[in-house]
């Protein structure tokens, strides 16, 4: 199993900061950064599910994957990494897969997120690991996580209480 490198830790923390900004802007506290094969952040995306319009499909990862798919070729994206504040849900994992992004690094697991959200109507979390979603596909997506869990928990601290 791959260990979290210093670069991975720095970029995962950048995703946490994007999530904090999304929260400050009135959205759910989720964020991600997409990094190219040279280590450059090419997309930062927070959740858009509440502001500017109510759209339950406007998760940070889904929006970022769509932006990436329009901007880059699949042959490029297979070498990119998406750093995410929390594990991609089934919908987001599907978007990452279909966009062709080759690697995901996340903070909090879906299971732990579900424990935080409970049955909150703004985030009816599924307990379906992204690894299981990716395993059903025909190409591999490398997954590293959960990582920096204590820091990830701080992003969500008190949000659903």
Q: Which residues are catalytic?
A: 61
Residue 90 neighbours by CB under 8 Å, 6+ apart: 126, 128, 130, 133
Helix (H, G, I), strand (E, B) or coil at 33: strand
Question: b/e string for 12-46 if b means 16 or more Cβ within 10 A?
Answer: bbbbbebbbebbeeebbbbbbbbbbeeeeebbbbb
């Amino acid at each position: 199993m791959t260990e979290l490198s210093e670069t991975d830790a720095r970029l995962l923390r950048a995703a946490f900061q994007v999530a904090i900004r999304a929260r400050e802007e009135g959205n759910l506290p989720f964020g991600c950064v997409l990094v190219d094969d040279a280590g450059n952040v090419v997309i930062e995306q927070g959740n858009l599910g509440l502001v500017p319009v109510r759209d339950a499909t406007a998760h940070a990862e889904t929006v970022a994957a769509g932006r990436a798919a329009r901007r880059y070729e699949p042959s490029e994206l297979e070498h990119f990494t998406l750093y995410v504040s929390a594990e991609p849900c089934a919908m987001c994992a599907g978007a990452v897969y279909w966009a062709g992004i080759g690697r995901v690094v996340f903070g909090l697991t879906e299971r732990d997120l579900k424990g935080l959200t409970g049955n909150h109507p703004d985030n009816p979390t599924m307990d379906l690991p992204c690894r299981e979603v990716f395993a059903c596909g025909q190409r591999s997506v490398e997954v590293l996580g959960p990582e920096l869990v204590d820091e990830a928990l701080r992003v969500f601290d008190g949000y659903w209480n």
